[in-house]
Each structure stands twice: as C-alpha cells, then as structure tokens.
Amino acid sequence: MTGLLEIKEKIKNIYGKFDVYLNPLFKFILALGVFSIINGNIGYMERLNRLTLTLVFSLICCIFPVNVMILLSGIVILLHLYALSLEVAVVACILFLLIALLYFRFAPRDGIYTVLTPLCLHFNLGPVMPMAVGLTGKAYSVISVVCGTVVWFFLDGVKQNGPALSSSSEDAAITSKFTAILNQLMGNKEMYLVIFAFVLVTAIVLLIRNLSIDYAWTAAIIIGSLVNFIVLFAGYVLLEISGKIVGLVIGSLLSLAVALVLEFFLFNLDYSRTERVQFEDDEYYYYVKAVPKMYVAVKEKQVKTFNSKNGKKTARKRTSGY
Amino acid sequence: MLNQERVCEMTRLAIFDRNKGQECRPMIQYFRKDYIAKEMLKSLITGTIAFGLLAVMLLLYYYEDLAEEMSSIDIRQTAVRGILCYAVCMGIYFLITYIVYYIRYAKGRHEVKKYYMHLKKVNRLYQEEEQI
C-alpha cells in the first residue's frame, strides 16, 4: 500500500508541476480518441476520415474548453451522417439541438460527462460513468450521462443499419426512413433499460457515499456495481436480448476496477486512525468524526558524499516515508 | 518588499475571477427578479424551439399512421390538444428554470459577497502599506 501511495504522491506532484502542459495533452488524447472512434464507426464521409484532419481537430480541442470538443464532434457526426443519408442527418441534428436546448442551457459545464459516456459505452465500460457522477458530481449531472447514452445508442443503431438507411437504398419512402431512424431511439428498449440502470446506480452511489459510515465510497462502488449488474441482467432476460451477458460481466468487473482506481486517487482515507470528539458551545453540542487522509509524508534526508580529492560534499535528497 | 498577506488575498481574487467571475457577473448586474425574468425569457425561446423540434420528430415518426387517419382527424381538437401540451411543457420548463436560477442566484450572491470581503481586505492592506 505504501508503494502505491508513493506512486500516487509522485503522480500528484508531477501533475501539479506540469498541469499547464498536461491538461491540454489529456484533452488532445481525449479528442483524438473521440474523433478516431467517430471516424472508425460511422466514417461515411471519406474526406473527414483523414488522419491529418483528425489531428487538426484534436489540436483545436486541446486549446479550447471541452464544449468546443462537443461542438466539433457534433459537426463531424452530422457530416458523416449527411454522407450516409439526409434523413439520418436531420434526425441527428434535431436530437443534438434538443439536448443543447433542454439540458446544456442549464449545465454547460457537464459536457465532459456527455463526451465520456459514449466513449465508455464503446469500450464496454458504461457503468463507470454513473458511478463517477455519483462519486464526484452532483445529482443532476446524471442527465448529461443520459444524453451521452442516448447519443451512443442512436449512433450504434445507425451503424448497425447503415446499408438500409443509406441514400442509395431508394426502395423505401422518405417517411419510412424517418420512422426507421427514429425507431432507433423511441423503440430501443435496451436504451431505456440502460438509462434506467444508470440513473438508479447514480442515485444509489450518491446516497451511500454521503452516508457517515466507514468505507462509504467503497461500499457505494460495490453496491452500485452490483445494482447495475442485477438490473441489466434481469432486463436482458426479461426483454429477451441475447448475447449481452458475457459483455455485461466483463464490463461490470472492469468498471468496478476503474471506479476503485478513481476512489484511490480521489478519496483515500485511513479509517484506523479515526478520531471521535465531542464538544459544545452556547447553541450546539457537537459530535465530530474526523477521518485522516492516507498520505505519504515527504521528508528531507541528508545524503553525505565523501570525495577524497575535493573534500566533503553534502547533498539534500527528497525521499518518501509513510 | 512584497506583502505576503496581500499577495495571498489577490491570488484568491484572481482565482475567483478566472473560475467564477463570468458566472457571477449577472449577480452583480441584476436584481434577483430581473435575473430570473431574463432567464425565463431565454427559456421561452429555447423551450418553444425545443417543443417545435420535438413535435416535428413525433410528426415524422407517426407520419404514416397520421396519413392514413388524416380524413378522420378533428383539426380543431388536435390544435387545442397541441396548445395544451405546449402550455404544460412550458409550465414544467419554466418551473425548472425558476428553481435552477433562483438557487444559482442565491449561491452567486454569496460568492460575490465573499469576493467583496477579500477585496476590502486588499484595499485595507494597500492603505496600511501607504501609511508606512
């Protein structure tokens, strides 16, 4: 454990020193991932699939706030969908506008969750997002996770039915195309199930982590993971959706691991040294429970180097100790 | 020579300016009623557009069913239902807007008050330095 804490402290120190460079770098990597996944899955407009364009977009995103990344990725998605079919692009445009008008007007800073949710769902790590929101965010931030989920299921549906929805398939009437596209959203029972599970997980995690109990975060993560697994498993069985169980098991375990890593970095307490004190003033009686954070104290150690030619030299070296 | 206390206070002010300055500006510029009214007006526009988009989406989704029943649809009754639906949706949207911006204003005012407190402290420190 001490070794892990030392690594954590080192990472924190490095981040503290170079955050000016690391923040844009992380944003660049995130944007590169987002645009690569968009191009790799719904890259219907070949001009946009060039690596140079992806790099340019990622560079733009690393300079500006996260909402610019949302805007750019939205435009790229719309262009790809336009290349597939005008009808799909129109529906996607309406969907994006609805999300922007109804939710991002109130919480423009929650954009990062909307970007990360489809990314996590793509890598089968969906439950990480509701747990992360429950652990670090506010209750209403779950709406941005829901928005990200809706977008992911819509795009996944478009990807799966790409040939049937394409402009070249003229056998279907325009209205039938619209109905088929909107069916990806309105008739997608799996999407409703995942949204229900995510909202429930967020609520449970938020509730448990705010409790005044030992290991509240760990309990919240484990119970959240279990609830997510049970709800989705039962839902898949009831809705007769096959071929999802193995992915669900692997995804749940991976999400649990990611959430525990998050806990290690954001909320690491030493419950063995909990202090309980009671005192009073004129108006109240106070029952205080103080739990110290787990950390590695950095202490200075003198290292003396003896050199026969130049005499004695002393050097200070920073070392870590628990 | 640098006044350490003043530098600390000024750093706090700069951090507030960078992180919450833009967000808290309306709390200085407007009274609560005016601020909420402005946001309500914005909600009227965005809510109407969103309702229109939602209606278009539903119309497209049920177009084929509607086309079949077009002759039997009572246009007047449908219009009344549409307006009622719009009123209910906007009512809910306004309520959410009111609650969100009421809380935001209250929190923002609190932050601004803290900001002014630090600002006063900086002024006091400047005056003390000048006297010395």
Listed by number, the residues of chain A in 174-193 with a beta carbon closer than 8 Å to a beta carbon of chain B are: 175-176, 178-179, 182-183, 186
Report the candidate in A97, A130, A84, A96 with the shortest Cα–Cα distance to residue A224: A130
More confident residue, B75 or B104: B104
pTM for this one? 0.80
Tell me how long chain A is: 322
Q: What sign results for the dihedral spanned by CA atoms B98, B99, B103, B106?
A: positive
Position A321 pLDDT exceeds 80: no
Under the banding of pLDDT at 50, 70 and 90, the label for residue A300 is low
Helices marked H in A43-188: 51-63, 66-84, 86-99, 111-122, 128-136, 142-160, 162-165, 174-186
Position A268 pLDDT exceeds 70: yes
Of A102, A178, A186, the CB nearest to B63: A178
Q: Report d(CA A260, CA A255) in Å as an integer.
A: 8
- Rounded mean pLDDT, A198-220: 91
What is the DSSP pairing of strand A275-280 with strand A285-290?
antiparallel
Residues of B whose CB is below 8 A from A186: 61
Position A322 pLDDT exceeds 50: no
pLDDT at A180: 80
Q: Which residues of B touch A (CB under 8 A)?
A: 42-43, 46-47, 49-50, 53-54, 56-57, 60-61, 63-64, 67, 93, 96-97, 100
Residues of A whose CB is below 8 A from B61: 178-179, 182-183, 186
Report the candidate in A189, A152, A100 with the shortest Cα–Cα distance to residue B53: A100
Q: Report d(CA A25, CA A61) in Å as an integer.
A: 10
Reduce the DSSP state of residue B36 to 3 states and report it. helix
* Close Cβ partners of A164 (under 8 Å, ≥ 6 residues apart): A172, A180
- Rounded mean pLDDT, A132-150: 89
- Cβ A101–B64 below 8 Å, yes or no? no
Angle at A71 between CA A67 and CA A72, to 5 degrees: 115
Q: Which residues pair with A300 in a beta bridge?
A: A318
Lowest average pLDDT, out of A165-169, A187-191, A298-302, B52-56, goes to A298-302
Which residue type occupies B132?
I
Which residue type occupies A197?
A
- Cβ B57–A105 below 8 Å, yes or no? no
Report the candidate in A91, A260, A209, A116 with the shortest Cα–Cα distance to residue B56: A91
- Rounded mean pLDDT, A20-29: 92
Domain map (residue ranges) of chain B = 4-131
Instruction: Please give the C-alpha separations between residue A23 and each of A18, A62, A63, A265, in angstroms, as whole numbers.
Output: 9, 8, 9, 17
Cβ-count burial A80-108 (b if 16+ within 10 Å, e if not): bbbbbbebbbbbbbbbbbbbbbbbbbbbe
More confident residue, A215 or A272: A215
Domain map (residue ranges) of chain A = 108-149+160-268
